[in-house]
Amino acid sequence: MRKGNRSTRGSRISGAPTSLWIQVSSLVFLSIFALALAFIAYVSVHSGTHKALPVVSGNQAGMNASVQDRVAAGANPGANPGANPGARPGGATGATANNGPVQKILTHVDGSVVVRASTGSCQVPGVVEFSGDSGRSWIPSETATASGPTRILGILAENRSQVLMVALDADCQPRLYSTVNLGGTWTGPSPAEATWYLDPSDPELINTPLGPQTPGCESTSVSAAGARALALCSDGSLELSPDSGASWTRLTQPSATLAVGLSDTGFILAQPGGETCAGLSLTTLDATGDVVDTGCAAINGATTSLDAANLALSRTGDSILIWSDNRLTTSLDGGTSWF
């Protein structure tokens, strides 16, 4: 009995260090594992790839993560009906001057964020989409129609925290809507009397900050930045106002303009390419009134004709986007190359 008791005590004593060693080893392993997880989290956050922490400038307070974060991060590559990165240049030399209201709107918010809209009608609401990667992918603003807008008349992009939309309401009356989070939520409607837009009931009238004005032609679109505005007439001519619509001047060049968009130096214009340009000939009308040749844009996959009413373009810095039909043609070097 004593030998057995001594043997039992001896085994317990000899097993104690083994048990202690296992416990210490477990603690060390758990500590190393925890440090590894912390390091991975740190690298993920500071590399800017963490989905909950996109790198976004501007006011972030109260922004809708499901839209704002995805736009800022350039997410949702599958919702991209306009991009065509693999196409090769084609011709659009048969394009003719505009003869009806535009059906597409495209404008830069900044160097990477872009907003576009299919205008729709009073019976079928238009669609607004935002891109956070210069047009490579698009996220529809599903809340845009919640406030009641139908046909979209214009998009006024001040910055990421202030994008305005002029649209008809359910009674087909022009109203103003706004978003501070890139389409996450919208407020409105509010009065649109002091806002630029083409009067859909009378194409010879343009609403301006001074009220309805007559540019001197039947217009298909109006593009405005501050007090300066450029009206595109149905015959492809242009009317320029430098004073909020108080006066208008017919421009002698360029002629046969198909579309007008905003640029950070004024306006960017598209005309038929002709014999020397298998696509669209682009020019810029700067703040001084000078017309500057911006090069030739090859329209990917275009046929010999181009529906000018379904053509929109925009420029900021060296980024130029052209939206024609369901194709988006892009230049990131000021028009030198296109994809």
Task: Confirm if 212 and 203 have CB atoms less than 8 A apart.
Answer: no
Strand partners, 97: none
**Average model confidence (pLDDT) for the chain?**
76
What's the pTM value of the predicted model, to 2 decimals? 0.72
Cα distances (Å, whole numbers) of residue 76 to 25, 71, 73, 220: 45, 8, 9, 33
Of residues 51 and 193, more confidence is placed in 193
pLDDT at 69: 56
pLDDT at 298: 81
pLDDT at 290: 86
The enclosing H or E element of 21 equals helix 2-46
Alpha carbon distance 210, 98 (integer Å): 27
Q: Which residue has 């949702």 as its token pair?
A: 76
Task: Confirm if 126 and 120 have CB atoms less than 8 A apart.
Answer: yes
Alpha carbon distance 139, 115 (integer Å): 10
Angle, vertex CA 199, rays to CA 196 and CA 200, nearest 5: 135
Tokens representing residue 65 in the block? 């993560």
Angle, vertex CA 203, rays to CA 104 and CA 116, nearest 5: 15
Is the pLDDT reported for residue 145 higher than 80?
yes
Span 152-161, average pLDDT: 92
Alpha carbon distance 103, 123 (integer Å): 14
pLDDT at 303: 40
Span 5-30, average pLDDT: 47
The least confident of 26-30, 54-58, 73-77, 175-179 is 54-58
Cα four-point dihedral sign 20, 26, 29, 34? negative
pLDDT band at 180 (very low <50, low <70, confident <90, very high): very high
Q: Reduced to 3 states, what is the DSSP secondary structure of residue 330?
A: strand
pLDDT digits (tens, 9 = 90+) for 77-125: 333 433 333 332 333 434 455 556 789 999 999 999 999 999 999 999 9
CA 156 to chain centroid: 12
Of residues 41 and 25, more confidence is placed in 25
pLDDT at 53: 19
Residue type, 24: V
Residue 302 neighbours by CB under 8 Å, 6+ apart: 90, 91, 92, 279, 324, 325, 327
Tokens representing residue 81 in the block? 């009906």
Span 36-60, average pLDDT: 30
Of residues 17 and 246, more confidence is placed in 246
Of residues 31 and 170, more confidence is placed in 170
Span 52-65, average pLDDT: 29
Angle, vertex CA 330, rays to CA 324 and CA 335, nearest 5: 110
pLDDT band at 8 (very low <50, low <70, confident <90, very high): very low
Is the pLDDT reported for residue 18 higher than 80?
no
pLDDT at 43: 32
The enclosing H or E element of 261 equals strand 259-263
pLDDT at 282: 94
pLDDT band at 6 (very low <50, low <70, confident <90, very high): very low
Alpha carbon distance 217, 299 (integer Å): 29
pLDDT at 254: 82
pLDDT at 115: 97
Alpha carbon distance 253, 264 (integer Å): 20
pLDDT at 79: 39
pLDDT at 106: 96
Q: What proportion of the chain, given as a percentage, has pLDDT over 90?
A: 51
Cα distances (Å, whole numbers) of residue 153 to 38, 49, 318, 333: 50, 37, 27, 30
pLDDT at 200: 85
Cα distances (Å, whole numbers) of residue 223 to 16, 45, 64, 148, 319: 84, 41, 29, 24, 18
Q: What proportion of the chain, given as a percentage, has pLDDT over 70?
A: 68
pLDDT at 258: 93
pLDDT at 38: 40
Closest CA to 162 of 204, 89, 110, 99: 110
Task: Confirm if 94 and 273 have CB atoms less than 8 A apart.
Answer: no
